[in-house]
Chain A
């Protein structure tokens, strides 16, 4: 990780938290659908970065969102999980080339990129809603929220990536 990478990631960390708690947590389409695009930080974290560091930072990221949302540790848990599982997802979405560190998420094939984003987003949402609702009685509600919020998140994440890609 170079110095500029570190600065970019710090700025991204703070900006995404603010964006999430100030605007995106209040969208509430149809009463409960919100995009959770702050996990963009975890998706875009440098591939050659330290894995332990990523897990710890993701936990902090989720915890910040939890503090603002009074939700205990649901985001923190979900974030730590997808940070831990990210190398495995990278391997099955980008194939072996990931191992040689030759992949750039922004330049990868669209289908591979979608697999990567969708897997992590759905895993994150599933764990988050399961922890938040915390009862087997409402399993349908968990799946429903995961599906709709997940689709919303994926669309917005892809849009964000496209917009910021063109600038650079």
Chain B
């Protein structure tokens, strides 16, 4: 017994180190798991407040660029609205009950990573703004990521620049489906895999979201084809995509909520259970 106690006293520094190191590795592995990164995240009161403080300062540097982007988006939406009006002409429509199952929220990015292999963003909206886990995040130019964790006032977003991210995407031209991943090499280039060989690809073709998930609606812009080659088995294409979004400078983003997501997931689960 005494020897055991002496052993602990003699090696107390090593044991302390080993204990703490195992905790760190545990925390690290936990973040690899999408739905489990709740223990340690920047969506908490302290870091949220610090990032908001920083952002209040750094915001001013990008104001003119942001304004420009928002103006352009307004212009585009105005044009669409005009077309929409034309097509309905004089029909009376109550705009509050337009049949859309998607709800939109706005948010500001207060922290953005793009230099690691598993990148996250922090935004200044949380539970109190009725943000939920799994909402899609886009900017005016294209896709950004998926909400992975929330606190009362903040949320973290798993960026598409994250090796754990897998998003359903398709070719705009021919609707062939694949998965959007990231190989960590360049923050402006993502990869599309599992596109069947039969698909016709051209440099510069547009890639959009596929709409087969409950997160993103169909047709959110992703990027254009930079180059492509067949993978090892010669069955699927491996495509490099130039992202429309500059992931290194994000300020204002939109969150998309699919109001029917729960219903769809529940239904799919029921089918799985039956099988």
Contact = CB atoms under 8 A, between A and B. Distances in A.
Closest A-B pairs by Cβ, 4 of them = A77-B24, A73-B27, A73-B24, A72-B31
Contact of B50 (A22, A32, A74, A132): A22
Nearest to B23: A73
A25 B46 CA distance: 17
Interface string B119-147: 01010000000000000000000000000
Interface string A29-72: 00111100000000000000001100110010011001111111
A81 B17 contact: yes
A149 to B, nearest CB: 10
A80 B20 contact: yes
A83 B47 CA distance: 25
B28 A52 contact: no
Contacts of A56: 16, 20
Nearest to A29: B115
Given A21-B50, A138-B117, A141-B184, A68 B42 contact: yes
A23 B192 CA distance: 33
Contacts of A158: none
Contacts of B42: 67-70
A122 interface: no
Contacts of A78: 24
B267 interface: no
Interface string A1-44: 00000000000000000100110010010011110000000000
Contacts of A134: 28, 32
Interface residues of A, number: 38
A74 B118 CA distance: 12
Contact of A70 (B13, B26, B122): B122
- Residue of B40, B51, B122, B156 most packed against chain A (CB within 10 A): B40
Interface in B82-115: 111, 113-115
B117 A77 contact: no
B115 A66 contact: no
A51 B117 CA distance: 33
A70 B120 contact: yes
Nearest to A17: B50
Contacts, number: 115
Interface of A: 18, 21-22, 25, 28, 31-34, 51-52, 55-56, 59, 62-63, 66-74, 76-78, 80-81, 83-84, 131-134, 138, 141
Given A22-B54, A141-B117, 4 more contacts: A51-B13, A69-B116, A70-B156, A131-B24
Interface in B21-43: 21, 23-32, 37, 40-42
Nearest to B158: A70
B186 interface: yes
Contacts of A28: 114-115, 248
Contact of B25 (A32, A71, A77): A77
Interface of B: 12-14, 16-17, 20-21, 23-32, 37, 40-42, 44, 46-47, 50-51, 54, 111, 113-118, 120, 122, 156, 184, 186-187, 248
Nearest to B46: A67
A66 B27 contact: yes
Contacts of B24: 59, 62-63, 72-74, 76-78, 80, 131
Contacts of B17: 55, 80-81, 83-84
A51 B184 CA distance: 38
7 contacts: A52-B13, A52-B16, A70-B41, A70-B156, A72-B28, A72-B30, A132-B118
B20 A59 contact: yes
A23 B116 CA distance: 16
Given A67-B47, A70-B120, A73-B26, A81 B16 contact: no
A11 to B, nearest CB: 17
Nearest to B31: A72
A136 to B, nearest CB: 13
Contacts of A67: 40-42, 44, 46-47
